[in-house]
Amino acid sequence: MEVNVGEKAPLFTLRAHDKSAVSLESFAGRKVVLVFFPLAFSSVCTTELCSIRDELKQYNDLNAVVLAISTDSLYALRKFREIHDYNFLLLSDYNKEVSRCYGALHEDYSLDMKGVTKRAVFVIDAKGVVKHKEILEDPSKLPNFDRVKDTLTSLAIKS
């Protein structure tokens, strides 16, 4: 299964780094940037999330909330967030259901690891419709976050 631009974003509830339950539905009326990342503490994921942390004001100014999702445990995510001072929610898709639903799961990753989140980004508008998606097969590549911000800007103009 894979979510496409123009479709309603599948709703979900996941546990955050602080053990709280976070549902996509709770952000109704706001734009959401879903950032799927493979592995906490890996160099590319750290670079990616640190750049989001450093640019979070731009997302906030566009009335967007950032949710970062991986198949890491919430305990690993808590430490990852603490060490790098991330200022947005890290959600654990430990059971791989949300990553699979969004088409963002490597069933077979490298080093014999199975069920690792792909690097991907989705922009969901205030009505819950996917307006942008980028799923990368190569985990060493980063999504085009300029395009994400352009999408968010265009949504701000339309509303």
The whole-angstrom separation of Cα 38 and Cα 85 is 19
3-state secondary structure the chain: CCCCCCCECCCCEEEECCCCEEEHHHHCCCEEEEEECCCCCCHHHHHHHHHHHHCHHHHHHCCEEEEEEECCCHHHHHHHHHHHCCCCEEEECCCCHHHHHCCCEEEECCCCCEEEECEEEEEECCCCEEEEEEEECCCCCCCCHHHHHHHHHHHHHHC
Tell me which of 33, 45, 64, 152 is the catalytic residue. 45
Token look-up 């731009």 returns 58
* 50 tagged catalytic: no
Contact between 132 and 122 under an 8 Å Cβ cutoff? The reply is: yes
The set of catalytic residues is 45
